[in-house]
A and B are shown apart, each in its own frame.
Chain A
Amino acid sequence: MPAGLSTSDFYYILPELVLTGGALLLLIADVILPKTQRAALAWVTLIVIGATLASLVPFESTHVEVAHGLLAVDRFALFFKILFLVAAGITVLMSVPYLSVEGASPGEYYFLILCATLGMMIVSGGIDLITIFIGLETMTVSFYILAGFIKPSQRSNEAAVKYFLLGAFSVGILLYGMSLMYGLSGTTNLRVMASAFVGQEHDPRLVLAVILVVAGVGFKIAAVPFHMWAPDVYEGAPTPITAFLSVGSKAASFAMLLRIFVEGLPAMSADWRLLFYVLSIVTMTVGNFAALTQTNVKRMLAYSSIAHAGYVLIGVVAGTARGVTATLIYLLIYSFMQLGAFAVIVLLRRRDEIGDELKDFSGLAFRNPFAAFAMLLFMLSLGGIPPTAGFMGKFWLFSAAIDAGYYWLAVIGVLNSAVSLYYYIRIVVFMYLKKETIGSEPRTSPTLAIALAVAVAATLVLGVYPRLLFEVAEASARTLGVAAPVITALR
C-alpha cells in the first residue's frame, strides 16, 4: 500500500484544510492589524467559518473513507461538522461584546475557537482511534487555554487548571482503553476492529477496555460520576466559552462515543449499553437534583447540561437507528437552546457586574423584553415544553426508548424533565414576575442580537416544523457503521 496521502485525500478533507488555512490567516491578521482594528477579527473569523460551511456543500452525499481508512467523509460526519461550525459562529457572535467588556485580546481567542472547531471536525470524521484521539486533543487543549483566557479573573484561572488536570487524567484512562482495544485486535481502524471482536464478548480484557473507554468518554460528556469538573469549569470560564464547551465539546464527544461504540464495538453492545443505561439514569437524576439548589445561573446551566447528557444517552442506550437519530436531533436542538441561554447571560455582563447570578435576571422582562422572551423560550425548550424544539427532541428520544423496550428509562426521563422545569421556571419567575431591577440597563449589541435571533428562530421553527431536521438526522444516522469504499484516487 502506498504510504502518505494522495490528491484525493486532500480533496476530501477540503473543509478541514479551509478551516486550518483560515485560522492561520486569522493569526496573521491579528499580528498585522493595528490595535484599533481588532474588532474586524471577529468578522474574519465568521468569514472563515462561512467559507468552511460552503466547502462542505460538495460532500453532501459522499460516503467514503480517505487517507487509508483514517477519516470517513459521510453524512454522519457532515451533520456534526455543520453543528460545530454553526455553534462556533454563534459563539463568535456572542464573544464580540463579551471580549470588549472583559478587555481580552481577540486574536488568539478566535484562533483557538477555530482550532477547537477543527479538532471537533476531525473527531466526527475519525474512524481510526488515532485520528479520533488527535482531534479530541486538539479540541481539548484549545479549550484548556480558552477556559483560562480571562487572565485577571481568579475563577477563570481556576477553571482552566481544574479542567486541565481532570482532563489529562481522564484522557489517560481513555487512552489506556484505546490501547487495549488496539492490542486485542491488532488494528486501530474501528471498522476493521469490529469484525476482529466478533465472538470475543466475554474476553475480560475487552470488557476492561470497554469500561475504560466508557469512563473516558463519560468524562468528556460530563456524565455522572465523571461530572465533577463541569460546574466549576462552566462557572469560571468566559461565558461564550462555557457555551461553546457545553455544546461543541459535548456534541463532539457524543460523535466520538457513537463512532467508537457503534462502529468499533458492536460486538460488545450488550455491555456498553448496560453501562450507559446506568450512567444515563444516574446522570439525569443527579444533574437535575443538583441544579435545583443553584443560585448561580451558569452553574445551574452546567448541572442542567449534565442532565441533558443523560437524556442524550437514552438515545445511545436504545441502540436502534431511531435511537441514534434521536441523539443527533437532540444534540442539534440542544446546541441552539444552550447557546441562546448563554447568549442572554452574556447580555447581562456589563462593566460593573458579572451578571450570572439569579438575581441579575430580576425584572429583565421590563428592561429588555426581547432578551427576556428569548430566555423564556430557551428555558421552556430545555424543559421540553411544546411548541419548542426541545419538546420535539425529547419526544423523539423517549419514543426511541419505548420502541427499544426501555420503558423505565423513558419514565425516569419524563419525570426528570418535569423536575427540571422547576429550576428553569425559576429564571422565568425572576425575569417576569419580579419587578426589582439591579444595576444598569443591559444593552444588546448587534452581534448578540443576531446570535439570539438565530437561536430563537431555530427553537421555534424546529419546534413547530421539525420535519426537515428529522429526515436529515435519520439519513445521517443510517450512515453510521455502514462500510464505505476507501478512496485512493480521485474519481
Chain B
Amino acid sequence: MSHYLSLILFEPLVGALLILLINKQNEDAIKWVANITALAGFVISIPLWFWYNPGSADFQLVERAPWIPSVGAEYFLGVDGLSVLLILLTTMMGFIAVLSSWTAITERVKEYYIFLLVLQTGMLGAFMSLDFLLFFLFWEVMLVPMYFLIGIWGSANRLYSAIKFFLYTLVGSVVMLLGILALYFYNHSVTGVYTFDVTVFHKLAVPFDLQWWIFLAFFLGFAIKVPMFPFHTWLPDAHTDAPTAGSVILAAVLLKMGTYGFLRFSLPILPDASRHFVPMIVVLSIIGIVYGALVALAQKDWKRLVAYSSVSHMAMVMLGMFALNPVGITGSIVQQLNHGISTGALFLIVGIVYERRHTREISEYGGLSKVMPVYAAIFLIMTMSSIGLPALNGFIGEFLILQGVFVANKIWALFAGSGVVLGAAYMLYLYQRTMFGKIENPKNERLLDLNHREFATFAPLLILAVWMGLYPTPFLRRLETSVQHIVMRVNASYAQAYADCGAGAPTAAQVASSDNPAAKFLASMPCDTTGKK
C-alpha cells in the first residue's frame, strides 16, 4: 500500500471532520463516531507491526511528495523501528483516551472529540515526519488542541495550567526552530542544496562549534517536552488540571515526543555535541529521578503524585539514553513504551475514582479494595509495572537502563538504582493509603466497581504489560536497527571496538540479520573472548 502512512496519519482528521457535521445536540452519535474513528485508527495501524521489516536498516513505508520546492520542504513520511512502536502506542492510547471519556465529558462534547482527534493527527505526524519543517509543523499543531483540552474541560486551576503549558512548550519549540534553520543553512553551504530532509542531515558532518549551538537549541525544545529538570514545572499543573483523557494522552504520548526528538534528531545529527553534553544531561536526569520521586512522596493530590512520578520516570529514560550504548538506549526506548502504558493506566485509574467522587485528595480515600476489587487488582498490576517488578514490562525497561548506565559509569547506576527504590516507595505508599486499610470515609462505601467500558480501557494495557514483561523479544527485535544506527553515529567507540575485534564495524543491516540475538543485544561487549561478534 503506497500511502499507508498517510492513511494512518489523516484518519483521525477525517473522523474530526465527520464529527463537525453532526449536530452538537446529538451527543450519542458524536461519541460513537469518535470511538469508531479511534478504534479504526488503532486497527489500521496494527499492520505496521507486521509490515515493518526489522532486517532492513532504511526507513520504510516511505512517502515523498514535493511540498514547497522553492524552500526544499517535502511531504516526507517514513518509519523505522522506533517510530513504529511509538505510532502503535499513540493509536492505542488515542483509542483508550477516547473510550475513557464516554461519561466523563458532558459539556461541549462535540468540540472535545474534535480536539482529541486533531491532537491525534498532530502526534502521529510528528512521529512519522522525516522532513524537519513538516515535523515542526506537527509538533506545534499539537499545542493548540491540548491547550483547549486543558483549558475547557480541566479542573479548578485549568486556565493557568493551560496557558503555562502552552507558552512554556512554545518557547522551547521556537528556539528549536532556529536550530533547524541553522542546520538547513549549514547543509546548503556544504552541499549547495536547500533541503529539510532528515535523512540527509543524518549523514551530514557538522562542525563542533555549530553542533554545540544547535544541540542547545534542540535541547531546549525537547527537554521542556520530556520534561527534564529544571524545565518540568509545567507538567504537574498541566497533568493535574487536565481531564482524564487529556492526562493520559499527555503522559503516554506527548512526553515521548521529547525523547523521540533526542533519539531521532539530537543524537544522530549532533553526535559530538551529544557526547560533550553527557555530563550536563546526566546530572539533570539524576536530579530529576531523585527530586521527582521525593516530591511525589510528599504529594497529597493523587494526580499530582502520578505527575511527579512521570518526571522521575522520564528522567530515568533520559539517563538510559545518554549512557550512549545499545543496551542503555534500547532500555530507554522500552521504558518510554512502558511509561506510556503504566502511567497512562495510572491516570485512567485516578480518572475513574475522580468521576465517582470528584476529589483527588488521597486522604479522602482508603480501603477501596474492599468495595472495588477488580479496580484494586488492576491498580496493583499497574503499580507493580510502574515500580519495575519482574514479570511485568517495567522490569525490562529498568533493567536494561541500569545495565546500560552501569557500563557507562557505576556512580550513575547507583543513582538510577535509587530511583527504582524511591519509585517503589511512593507508589506503594499511595496504594496503601488508597486501597488498603479500613474504609474511613462513608462516601467510599458504595462506590461502584469498574463497568465493562472502563475495564475495556484497561484491557490492552494489561495485556501489553504482561506481554512485554514476559516476552519482550518482538519489541526488542524491532528496535535493533534503529538503536544500532543511533549508536553507530553517536558513539564512535562502539564502531572502533568492533573494528578492533578485527572484522570491521558491522552495518546496522548486518547486525539485524545476524542470528545471535543475545550477543547482538548485549553489545556492550562487542566481541567475546574468541573475537566473535
Are B69's CB and A467's CB within 8 A?
yes
Check B170 for interface membership: any CB of A closer than 8 A: yes
Q: Which residues on the B side are within 8 Å of A471 (C-beta)?
A: 70
Contact B167 A402 (CB under 8 A): no
Contact B68 A425 (CB under 8 A): no
Residues of B within 8 A of A467 (CB): 67-70
Contact status B182-A414, CB under 8 Å: no
Closest Cβ–Cβ distance, residue B246 to chain A (whole Å): 15
Chain B residues, Cβ within 8 Å of A417: 174
A106 at the interface (CB under 8 A from B): no
CB distance from B416 to the nearest CB of A (A): 34
Chain A 390-429, CB-CB to B under 8 Å as 1, else 0, gives 0100011011001100010011001101100110010001
- Judge if A208 is at the interface, Cβ distance under 8 Å: no
* Min CB–CB distance B145 → chain A (angstroms): 11
Residues of B near A470 (CB, < 8 A) are 68, 70-71
Count CB-based A-B contacts (< 8 Å). Answer: 76
B204 at the interface (CB under 8 A from A): no
- Confirm or deny: A442 has a beta carbon within 8 angstroms of a beta carbon on chain B: no
Residues of B contacting A386 in the complex (Cβ-Cβ under 8 angstroms): 136-138, 140-141
Docked CA distance A415–B167 (Å): 11
Tell yes or no: A474 within 8 A of B by CB. Answer: yes
Q: Is B152 an interface residue (CB 8 A)?
A: yes
Complex interface: chain A residues within 8 A of B174 (CB):
384, 414-415, 417-418
Residues of chain B contacted by A421 (CB below 8 angstroms):
166-167, 170
Residues of chain B lying within 8 A (CB to CB) of residue A418:
167, 170-171, 174
Query: A387 to B185, Cβ gap below 8 A?
Result: no
Q: Looking at the complex, which one of A402, A403, A422 makes contact with B178 (CB distance below 8 Å)? A: A402
A433 part of interface (Cβ distance < 8 Å): yes
CA distance A309 to B479 in the complex (A): 49
Minimum Cβ distance to chain B for residue A239 (Å): 27
Instruction: Give complex CA distance A196, B68 in Å.
Output: 40
Task: Decide if B144 touches A385 in the complex (CB within 8 Å).
Answer: yes
**Which residues between 118 and 161 of chain B lie within 8 Å of chain A, taking CB atoms?**
133, 136-138, 140-141, 143-144, 147-148, 151-152, 159
- Contact, CB under 8 Å: B137 / A387: yes
Closest A residue by C-beta to B139: A386
**Which residues on the A side are within 8 Å of B112 (C-beta)?**
none
Residue pair A433, B167 in contact (C-beta under 8 Å): no
Query: Whole-angstrom distance from the CB of B300 to the nearest CB of chain A?
Result: 27
CB within 8 Å of A: which B168-204 residues? 170-171, 174-175, 177-178, 181-182, 184-185
Closest approach, in angstroms, between the C-beta of B126 and any C-beta of chain A?
A: 11
> How far, in whole Å, are A403 and B188 apart by their CA atoms in the complex?
10
Q: Does A432 contact B (CB under 8 A)?
A: yes
Interface residues of A in 425-480 (CB under 8 A from B): 425, 429, 432-433, 465-467, 470-471, 474
Q: Closest approach, in angstroms, between the C-beta of B159 and any C-beta of chain A?
A: 6
CA distance A399 to B184 in the complex (A): 9
Q: Is the CB of A395 within 8 A of B68?
A: no
Chain A residues bordering chain B, tally (CB within 8 A): 31
Shortest C-beta distance, A361 to chain B (Å), equals 15
Q: How far is the CB of A390 from chain B (nearest CB, A)?
A: 11
Measured between alpha carbons, how far is A291 from B104 in the docked complex, in Å? 38
Let me know if B163 is at the binding interface, CB within 8 A: yes
A425 touching B178 by the CB < 8 A rule? no
CB distance from A102 to the nearest CB of B (A): 34
Contacts of A387 in B (CB 8 A): 137, 141
Taken together as a complex, chains A and B put the C-alpha atoms of A429 and B159 apart, in Å, by: 8
Asked if A252 is an interface residue, CB under 8 A from chain B, the answer is no
Other-chain residue from B143, B151, B163, B175 in contact with A414 (beta carbon distance below 8 A): B175
Smallest Cβ-Cβ distance to A400: which chain B residue: B181
In chain B, what residue has the closest Cβ to A399?
A: B181
Q: Does A345 contact B (CB under 8 A)?
A: no
How many Å from the CB of B115 to the closest CB on chain A?
A: 11
Chain B min CB distance to A402 (Å): 5
Once bound together, how far apart are the Cα atoms of A386 and B136, in whole Å?
Answer: 8
**Is B152 a contact of A433 with CB atoms below 8 Å?**
yes
CB distance from A375 to the nearest CB of B (A): 14
Residues of A near B148 (CB, < 8 A) are 432
CB of A380 closer than 8 Å to a CB of B: yes
Q: Tell me, in angstroms, the Cα distance from A396 to B67 when the chains sit together.
A: 15
Bound state CA distance, A410 and B213, in angstroms? 14
Chain A residue at minimal CB-CB distance from B140: A386
A425 partner residues in chain B, CB cutoff 8 A? 147, 163, 166
Closest A-chain residue to B151, C-beta based?
A433
Query: Contact check: which of B133, B137, B143, B152 meets A432 at CB < 8 Å?
Result: B152
**What residues on A are CB-neighbors of B181 within 8 Å?**
398-399, 402, 410
Residues of A within 8 A of B163 (CB): 422, 425, 429
> B388 to chain A: closest CB distance in Å?
38
Contacts of A411 in B (CB 8 A): 175, 178
Residue among B67, B136, B152, B182 making CB contact with A402, cutoff 8 Å: B182
Considering only residues 460-478 of chain B, those with a C-beta below 8 Å from chain A are none
**Contact, CB under 8 Å: A415 / B171:** yes
A385 touches B68 (CB 8 A): no
Complexed CA–CA distance, A425 and B71 (Å): 30
Contacts of B159 in A (CB 8 A): 429, 433
Instruction: Choose one: B140, B151, B167, B171; the contact of A391 (CB below 8 Å).
Output: B140
Which residues of the other chain, A, contact B184 by a CB distance below 8 angstroms?
Answer: 399
Quick one: which of A386, A395, A433, A470 has the most chain B CB within 10 A? A386
**Contact status A474-B70, CB under 8 Å:** yes
Residue of B nearest to A473 (CB): B70
Q: Is the CB of B137 within 8 A of A402?
A: no
Distance between Cα atoms of A109 and B489 in the complex (Å): 67
**What residues of chain B lie closer than 8 Å to A399, measured between beta carbons?**
181, 184-185
Complex interface: chain A residues within 8 A of B178 (CB): 398, 402, 407, 410-411, 414
Within the assembled complex, what's the spacing in Å between the Cα atoms of A425 and B137? 19
- Chain A residues, Cβ within 8 Å of B68: 466-467, 470
A385 & B70 in contact (Cβ 8 Å cutoff) = no
Contact, CB under 8 Å: A432 / B151: yes
Distance between Cα atoms of A387 and B147 in the complex (Å): 15
A473 to chain B, nearest CB (A): 9
Name the A residues within 8 Å of B136 (CB-CB): 386
Chain B residue numbers with a CB within 8 Å of A415 are 171, 174-175
- Of residues 63 through 118 on chain A, the ones whose CB sits less than 8 Å from some CB of chain B are none
For B70, the chain A residues whose CB sits under 8 A away are 467, 470-471, 474
A384 CA / B143 CA spacing, docked (Å): 12
Could you tell me the distance in whole angstroms from the C-beta of A422 to the nearest C-beta in chain B?
A: 6
A37 to B144 Cα, complex, angstroms: 46
Chain A residues, CB < 8 A from B170: 385, 418, 421
B142 to chain A, nearest CB (A): 10
Write the nearest CB–CB distance from B529 to chain A, whole angstroms: 52
Measured between alpha carbons, how far is A375 from B34 in the docked complex, in Å?
A: 26
**Quick one: CB contact mask for B484-503 with A, threshold 8 Å, 1 for yes?**
00000000000000000000
Q: How far is the CB of A79 from chain B (nearest CB, A)?
A: 15
Closest to B173 in A: A418
- Nearest A residue (CB) for B143: A385
Q: In the complex, which residues of chain A have a beta carbon less than 8 angstroms from the beta carbon of B71? A: 396, 470
A482 to B185, CA, bound (A): 26
The 3 closest A-B pairs by CB, nearest first: A414-B174, A386-B137, A386-B140
What 10 additional pairs, Cβ within 8 angstroms, besides A402-B185, A407-B178, A474-B70?
A: A385-B141, A386-B137, A391-B140, A399-B181, A399-B185, A402-B182, A411-B175, A414-B177, A421-B167, A467-B67
**26 interchain pairs, CB-CB under 8 A:** A380-B144, A386-B136, A386-B137, A386-B138, A386-B141, A391-B137, A396-B71, A398-B178, A399-B181, A402-B181, A403-B185, A407-B178, A414-B174, A414-B175, A418-B167, A418-B174, A421-B170, A425-B147, A425-B163, A429-B151, A429-B159, A432-B152, A433-B152, A466-B68, A467-B68, A467-B70
User: A: which residues have CB within 8 A of B?
Assistant: 380, 384-387, 391, 395-396, 398-399, 402-403, 407, 410-411, 414-415, 417-418, 421-422, 425, 429, 432-433, 465-467, 470-471, 474
Give the interface of B toward A (CB within 8 A).
67-71, 133, 136-138, 140-141, 143-144, 147-148, 151-152, 159, 163, 166-167, 170-171, 174-175, 177-178, 181-182, 184-185
